[in-house]
């Protein structure tokens, strides 16, 4: 591939792709059923955000939402916060999945480390969901009760979600790589009645026993009345049962189905699940989202933006502690099968997921930008070892995808795929900027704002700007926005989190720049932005430059504005084994930043570190490190239970003593 730079054209949809795109079908439906005619995506998007109530009503009708009562209107109050969506409607999230089930092909492809690929069909999913829902009702679970899961990314977790949602109970999950303190920080806030948990899991070829952790969760959750344990294959049921009843998943699911699968009919805004903020600076915020809002949003994304169709096989590498797990399940709404992988992406080699892609026939491959970067750094060329021609789209999220990694995907996966870099958040359980199969793809760019998401860049005066880095804001309500935060009765924490800067406007906390064609680039978290000599720079720009050097595996930069002295900006780097941070390498790092970024953003010091601290969801902990280096108590700003590598913070605590 020829040398590329930001904005280089990498892909254009063919006339056949445009003709067969779900978006094209939706636009034809609008013309036929609403007399609405749009010549291009930009015009469609503008209509969708200028007429948000009408837009979401068309999705209700287009997708034929299964509901026992229709809504009185789509949007009763067009305000933020406090928008009232689809009042009067009665529906159920889970019912709309089963209304779209099929019998002629698998619904779930499942692969665990060192185990063969398995499949699961809708008939078996329905049977297990009905039996589990029956058992939960016998345990006294009612609408509004909380059922929490300490579960890995396995089919049982998806079945548990469907069963809980069918009753109208409220779901919440954590991955079993979370420690007990981190899990309790989340689950204690919502006072669950039932815990569903594994007693262990395998990752990277190793067995991790979680029986002690489960016992700690049982002891730390006084409202628990029942635990359902999913034992590792070949392991007998073993857990502390002194607190309440403990049940074996396999024994429960072996019971005969005595009642049909039924679905509680609930208001549009009945709570579906509780997700959590990262928890790096205190107890995680418990974010409550509703049945109807999530259903419509995930239908919109899966069908119109990801362009999933019946027969597609949709994969995203995720865990149950990341909102992308919930998002992946939503792919079933499009009639696509989902591919579930339980294990390390690097075991036994970095080819593990690419082997899965070939074996399962994945058509939409999703992963984090960090995974793409790791593959590129490892020097692997997956399309030389595997047949990846089935992959027609590639999704990337979690952090900005660099121009170099755009090029890597096209060179080493499939030159004909649509590379859809997306960005959104746990707060809305979706992407608000992402892919569009009708538009070209340019290196380093996200294609644009999603339908119904009025995303803009604001300057300091709160004015929308083009070709200028600004605060990412959303200026119209979306139905998947949080209903509220749990135990935030007055909504103070909710308003402070999103609406304190621009009243009535959602401030997300990212830097973004939009161009004239609607494309955008995310430049990292706005609170971690580097501001030198009045020039603002997102940290991702500096990482892209620094990590392009072969010797540098990872990096973190923080700008410390210390009282009584000039700003001090250290750059921390993790080096490839055998590399040495000598004067020559330091000079090359500075020259790379000078040439690729600007001379204003040269670090004051470059320091080698063993590793960079990350959250469990794979985000660099820039803000906690910055606060530690500014003198804040590390125990108050960095929760070890919310970290992937808690020992990594020790270096920065010690480094603070030298400042």
DSSP string, 247-311: EEHHHHHTS---S------EETTSEEEEEE---TTSSPPEEEEEHHHHHHHHHIIIIIIS---TT
State the chain's mean pLDDT as an integer.
92
Q: Does the pLDDT of residue 241 top 80, yes or no?
A: no
Residue 238 confidence (pLDDT): 47
Mean pLDDT confidence for 40-65: 98
Distances (CA, A) of 494 to 46, 83, 427, 507: 28, 14, 10, 12
Ordered domains of the chain (ranges, CATH): 122-267 (3.40.50.980), 532-656 (3.30.300.30)
More confident of the two residues 630 and 576: 576
pLDDT in tens, 114-171: 899 999 999 999 999 999 999 999 999 999 999 999 999 999 999 999 999 999 999 9
Q: How far apart are CA 301 and CA 305, in angstroms?
A: 5
Distances (CA, A) of 23 to 193, 283, 343: 42, 40, 34
Residue 1 confidence (pLDDT): 56
First to last CA, the chain: 46
Give the angle subtended at the CA of 104 by the CAs of 91 and 26, to the nearest 5°: 55
Contact 125, 340 (CB under 8 A): no
Mean pLDDT confidence for 345-350: 92
pLDDT in tens, 385-407: 999 999 999 999 877 888 889 99
Contact 433, 448 (CB under 8 A): yes
**Of the given ranges (143-152, 311-320, 387-396, 618-627), which has the lowest mean pLDDT?**
618-627
For 177, phi then psi, to 5°, come to -85, -5
Mean pLDDT confidence for 525-553: 79
Enumerate the H helices of 73-167 as residue ranges: 93-98, 122-138, 155-167
Mean pLDDT confidence for 604-629: 91
Give the angle subtended at the CA of 133 by the CAs of 128 and 137, to the nearest 5°: 150
**Of the given ranges (284-298, 336-350, 609-623), which has the lowest mean pLDDT?**
609-623
Contact 123, 98 (CB under 8 A): no
- Percent of the chain past pLDDT 70, that is, above it, reads 95
Q: Does the pLDDT of residue 563 top 90, yes or no?
A: no
Residue 536 confidence (pLDDT): 62
Q: How far apart are CA 625 and CA 620, in angstroms?
A: 9
- Give me 344's structure tokens: 């390390």
- Percent of the chain past pLDDT 90, that is, above it, reads 78
Q: How far apart are CA 16 and CA 307, in angstroms?
A: 14
Residue 235 confidence (pLDDT): 60
Residue 601 confidence (pLDDT): 84
pLDDT in tens, 417-433: 999 999 998 999 999 99
């Amino acid at each position: 591939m020829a040398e590329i730079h930001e904005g280089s054209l990498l892909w254009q949809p063919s006339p056949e792709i445009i003709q067969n795109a779900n978006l094209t079908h939706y636009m034809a439906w609008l013309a036929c059923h609403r007399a609405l005619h749009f010549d291009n995506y930009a015009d469609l998007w503008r209509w969708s955000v200028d007429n948000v109530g009408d837009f979401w009503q068309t999705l209700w009708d287009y997708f034929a939402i299964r509901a026992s009562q229709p809504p009185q209107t789509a949007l009763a109050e067009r305000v933020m916060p406090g928008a009232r969506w689809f009042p009067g409607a009665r529906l159920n999230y889970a019912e709309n999945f089963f209304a779209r089930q099929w019998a002629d092909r698998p619904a779930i492809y499942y692969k665990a480390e060192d185990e063969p690929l398995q499949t699961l069909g809708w008939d078996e999913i329905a049977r297990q969901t009905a039996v589990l829902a029956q058992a939960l009702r016998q345990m006294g679970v009612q609408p509004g009760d909380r059922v929490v899961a300490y579960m890995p990314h396995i089919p049982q977790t998806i079945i548990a979600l469907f069963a809980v949602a069918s009753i109208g109970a409220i779901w919440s999950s954590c991955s079993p790589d979370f420690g007990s303190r981190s899990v309790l920080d989340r689950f204690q806030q919502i006072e669950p009645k039932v815990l569903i948990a594994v007693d262990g899991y395998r990752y990277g070829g190793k067995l991790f026993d979680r029986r002690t952790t489960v016992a700690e969760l049982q002891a730390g959750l006084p409202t628990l009345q029942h635990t359902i344990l999913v034992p590792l294959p070949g392991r007998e049921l073993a857990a502390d049962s002194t607190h309440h009843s403990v049940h074996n998943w396999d024994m429960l699911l072996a019971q005969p189905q005595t009642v049909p699968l039924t679905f509680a009919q609930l208001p549009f805004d009945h709570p579906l699940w509780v997700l959590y903020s990262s928890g790096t600076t205190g107890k995680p915020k418990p974010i409550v989202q509703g049945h109807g809002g999530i259903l419509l949003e995930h239908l919109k994304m899966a069908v119109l933006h990801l362009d999933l169709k019946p027969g597609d096989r949709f994969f995203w590498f995720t865990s149950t502690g990341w909102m992308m797990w919930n998002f992946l399940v939503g792919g079933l709404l499009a009639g696509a099968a989902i591919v579930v992988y339980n294990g390390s992406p690097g075991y036994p080699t970095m080819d593990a997921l690419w082997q899965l892609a070939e074996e399962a026939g994945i058509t939409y491959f999703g992963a984090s930008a960090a995974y793409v970067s790791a593959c590129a750094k490892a020097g692997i060329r997956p399309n030389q070892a595997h047949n990846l021609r089935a992959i027609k789209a590639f999704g990337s999220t979690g952090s900005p995808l660099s121009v170099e990694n755009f090029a890597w995907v096209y060179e080493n996966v499939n030159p004909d795929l649509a590379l859809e870099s997306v960005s959104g958040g746990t707060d809305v359980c979706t992407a608000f900027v992402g892919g569009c199969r009708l538009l070209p793809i340019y290196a380093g760019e996200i294609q644009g704002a999603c339908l119904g998401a009025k995303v803009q860049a604001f300057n300091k005066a709160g004015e929308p700007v083009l070709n200028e880095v600004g605060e990412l804001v959303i200026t119209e309500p979306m139905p998947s926005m949080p209903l509220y935060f749990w135990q935030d009765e007055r909504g103070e924490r909710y308003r402070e989190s999103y609406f304190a800067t621009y009243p009535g406007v959602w401030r997300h906390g990212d830097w973004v720049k939009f161009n004239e064609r609607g494309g955008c680039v995310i430049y990292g978290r706005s609170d971690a932005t580097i501001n030198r000599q009045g020039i603002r720079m997102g940290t991702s720009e500096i990482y892209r430059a620094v990590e392009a050097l072969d010797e540098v595996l990872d990096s973190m930069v923080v700008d410390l504005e210390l009282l009584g002295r000039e700003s001090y900006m250290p750059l921390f780097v993790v080096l490839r084994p055998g590399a040495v941070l000598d004067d020559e390498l330091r000079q090359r790092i500075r020259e790379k930043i000078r040439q690729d970024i600007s001379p204003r953003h040269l670090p004051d010091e470059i320091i080698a570190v063993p590793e960079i601290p990350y959250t469990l969801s794979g985000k660099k902990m820039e803000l906690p490190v910055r606060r530690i280096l500014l003198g804040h108590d590390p125990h108050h700003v960095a929760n070890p239970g919310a970290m992937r590598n808690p020992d990594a913070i020790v270096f920065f605590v010690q480094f603070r003593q030298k400042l």
